[in-house]
Amino acid sequence: NGMEYTILALGLSLGEEYMREIQKFDFTKKNPKLLLLAFDEKDYSLEDSILIALLAKLGFDIVLFVPTGFQILERYYARPLLVEHQIGSYMFGLSIPKAPSLKDDILKINTIFQRIFKRG
DSSP-assigned letters across all residues of 48-96: HHHHHHHHHHHT-EEEEE-TT---SSGGG-SS--S-----S----S--P
Q: Which parts of the chain have pLDDT scores under 50?
A: none
The pLDDT tens digits for 12-45 are: 888 888 788 788 877 788 888 888 888 777 778 8
What is residue 3's predicted lDDT score, i.e. its pLDDT?
80
Residue 51 maps to a domain? yes
Would 65 be classed as within a structural domain? yes
- Split into its structural domains, the chain has a count of 1
**17 in a structural domain:** yes
Residue 113 lies in a domain: no
| Cα–Cα distance, 16 to 10 (Å, whole number) | 13
pLDDT at residue 93 in the model? 78
User: What amino acid occupies position 108?
Assistant: K
